[in-house]
Amino acid sequence: MSAENTSIDHLLTENRRFAPSAEFAADAVAGAELYEKAETDREGFWADQSRELLHWSTPFTQVLDWSNPPFAKWFADGALNVAYNCLDRHVEAGNGDRVALLWEGEPGDERRLTYAELTDEVKRLANVLADLGVGQGDRVAIYLPMIPEAVASMLAVARLGAVHSVVFGGFSADSLRARIDDAGAKLVITADGGWRKGKVSPLKPAVDQALAARNGLGEQETVEHVLVVKRGENEVDWFEGRDLWYHDVVPQASAEHEAQAFEAENPLFILYTSGTTGKPKGILHTSGGYLTQAAFTHRNVFDLHPETDVYWCTADIGWITGHSYVVYGPLANGATQVLYEGTPDHPEPGRWWDVIQKYGVTIFYTAPTAIRGFMKQGRQIPQARDLSSLRVLGSVGEPINPEAWVWYREVIGAGKTPVVDTWWQTETGAIMVSALPGVTETKPGSAQVPLPGISIDVVTDDGRPVGNDAGGLLVITEPWPSMLRGIWGDPERFKETYWDKFADQGYYFAGDGARLDEDGDIWLLGRVDDVMNVSGHRLSTAEIESALVAHEATAEAAVVGASDETTGQAVVAFVCIKENYLRAHSTEGLVDQLRLWVGEQIGAIARPRDVYIVSELPKTRSGKIMRRLLRDVAEGREVGDTQTLADTMVMSVISDQVAKK
Ligand code: WT7
């Protein structure tokens, strides 16, 4: 059977069902009783999970405090140390020799760190950070490639009760600066560079730029030190007094460091994500509730058997998936995992499958965009490797189309592994909707059911449940342990963005459209706001528009997310150029310049796939840009209703201009 053959895709879609094998179910960590327990006593269920999965230095007696919604507190009178939970306690339990990280660099170099070794590294680093003045509540920015030091840095910051803000290495100096400023970071941990697609991609120069006076901003004022890991061996500038080499200070530091317990609501990290406005939001997560749900979901959704499994999540630590399912969930559970530095297709397209074969990966978690990319290359590439160790496959980041889901199961999972499609967000902190691999009969294309202890519904615009076989908006109807505690420095925006829409019902509005099928299973339909999802990464139309408008040639710009076969959505920009520029430059030259410019302003991921130079943008009489119509053009559809446009001719002009390109 060939799932690549789209003609049979229709036959494979909604009607296919895959029940867990009796063998898998018999050995599964999670059984159906979890749903019953959570149903009977939701808070009691989470309290039990938390006590079972974590070590509390001061046990909690309160579970949820929802007296001041939407500001939740979970396990508020308890105290714990997050890093102790991810490291020391495994060593103390006699598992110090278990491998924590099986690291593979892109050039093929390797490092293995046991739990004892990683604990040691984190203790030394914690001592160094403390000496540099980092203490409880201080913010530390982390801008690193996927190397063991990245994991160690997050844990060392957590160990001190400080707050990390990881910035994806693909973000530009400007994006980094905005994040460092917003959080008021005291220290930056970076590397000279990291390996990407066979080359060293420099990082330290971006940090130098971010901290310098530039673009109308003065010199950055809160950062006192920059700690630099040597990885790329690329030349870097050095600022005596500010910059320190990691290898000069960490190995020499003491490996004695006793973890102090912090209250459950002590902030753990800020992670910036795009919203509907130009300014990224600093999503704030705290300690006890976050770690509880990260550990619970990692264990149950992936059926983790820490003694025998080799787990691999391909996400970068710069995204929430890297936080919850590379760092906190797996390490809290004492898992052995692969950490890989590079891209999927370097030096050749089978690299990921080589990694799976080499390390005997049993649980694999990746994004639909990667799966669709592999489908395009053809099944012979994975089939030339031994992938028989795999037993659970996960998907995250965007809806996975049934065709890709089935290909994943058939080709990567040998037609036998459960596939779990996990829906969640930066804001939810951990997985919210997913099958349980030993319990649920899976359905390609549907994320299916809320996890035990999670309450989700699909409602109309005014908050009424749509019921089965209908579509609407996805809402979370009860607080959950790993929920965001706010937007850094902006409580009003937190309320406005997530809680105002369904204030009467007290629901959290996720920003996703969804449908319940006749069985009540959830199908995610994509964002309902001006947020795009490109390769599972969230991008804001407004943010890219403001970058485009900041270019001196641009008069006006509109950005839409157009569906794309591989990346889910792609960034498509419509730009009006100032007359004098239009006369002086070629269209191709301007298009190239603008694409590069967006890359510099935000990062390469935000670079538009297409830039169309147009003479006008479609607007309503009140001046609102009608992006819906531009999306029609970008996706090659017939343009929808243009009656509300101030000038109804505009769209035919734009269609002509796009067609000519
Ligand atoms: C948005 C959150 C969760 C980590 C990666 C992205 C979309 C996420 C799924 C899924 C359909 C999904 C949603 C969501 N999304 N997972 N399994 N099926 N859509 O985190 O950057 O915070 O983006 O990603 O639209 O709102 P994020």
Angle between helices 173-183 and 204-211 (to 10 degrees): 60
The answer to whether position 299 is within a domain reads yes
Per the annotation, does 512 bind a ligand? yes
Low-confidence ranges of the chain (pLDDT < 70): 1-14, 661
Does ligand 1 have an atom closer than 6 angstroms to the CB of 243?
Answer: no
Strands 508-516 and 537-540: unpaired
Domain endpoint, select from 421, 456, 490: 421
Nearest C-alpha to atom 19 of ligand 1 is from which residue?
A: 398
What is the DSSP code string of 453-486? T--EEEE-TTS-B--SSEEEEEEE-S--TT---E
The answer to whether position 110 is within a domain reads yes
Residues 417 and 535 reside in one and the same domain: no
Helix, strand, coil in percent for the chain, rounding step 5? 35, 25, 40
Per the annotation, does 321 bind a ligand? yes
Per the annotation, does 209 bind a ligand? no
Nearest C-alpha to atom 24 of ligand 1 is from which residue?
A: 397
Residues 176 and 313 reside in one and the same domain: yes
CA of 474 from ligand 1 middle (Å) equals: 12
Q: What local confidence, expressed as pLDDT, does residue 275 receive? A: 83
Per the annotation, does 421 bind a ligand? yes
The answer to whether position 476 is within a domain reads no
Per the annotation, does 423 bind a ligand? yes
What CATH number did the domain enclosing 82 receive? 3.40.50.12780
Quick one: CA dihedral 464, 469, 470, 473, positive or negative? Answer: positive
Ligand 1 atom closest to residue 320's alpha carbon, by position in its atom list: 4
Q: How large is the C-alpha radius of gyration of the chain? A: 24
Nearest C-alpha to atom 8 of ligand 1 is from which residue?
A: 397
Full residue range of the structural domain in which residue 291 is found: 8-421
Residues 74 and 213 reside in one and the same domain: yes
Ligand 1 atom closest to residue 395's alpha carbon, by position in its atom list: 17
The answer to whether position 356 is within a domain reads yes
Q: In this predicted model, what pLDDT tens digit does every residue of 307-338 receive, in sequence order? A: 999 999 999 999 999 999 999 999 999 999 99
Domain endpoint, select from 421, 452, 483: 421
Q: What local confidence, expressed as pLDDT, does residue 12 receive? A: 40
Q: In this predicted model, what pLDDT tens digit does every residue of 407-451 receive, in sequence order? A: 999 999 999 999 999 999 999 999 999 999 999 999 999 999 999
Domain endpoint, select from 386, 421, 456: 421
3-state SS string for 17-49:
CECCCHHHHHHCCCCCHHHHHHHHCHHHHHHHH
Ligand 1 atom closest to residue 427's alpha carbon, by position in its atom list: 22
Residues 415 and 549 reside in one and the same domain: no
The answer to whether position 456 is within a domain reads no
Task: Tally the domains of the chain.
Answer: 2
Nearest C-alpha to atom 16 of ligand 1 is from which residue?
A: 397
Ligand 1 atom closest to residue 431's alpha carbon, by position in its atom list: 3
Per the annotation, does 49 bind a ligand? no
Does ligand 1 have an atom closer than 6 angstroms to the CB of 399?
Answer: yes
The answer to whether position 504 is within a domain reads no
Ligand 1 atom closest to residue 447's alpha carbon, by position in its atom list: 17
Per the annotation, does 566 bind a ligand? no
Q: What local confidence, expressed as pLDDT, does residue 14 receive? A: 56
Name the residue with tokens 């410019």: 597
Does ligand 1 have an atom closer than 6 angstroms to the CB of 531?
Answer: no
Does ligand 1 have an atom closer than 6 angstroms to the CB of 320?
Answer: yes
The answer to whether position 311 is within a domain reads yes
What CATH number did the domain enclosing 612 receive? 3.30.300.30
AA letter at 288? G
The answer to whether position 505 is within a domain reads no
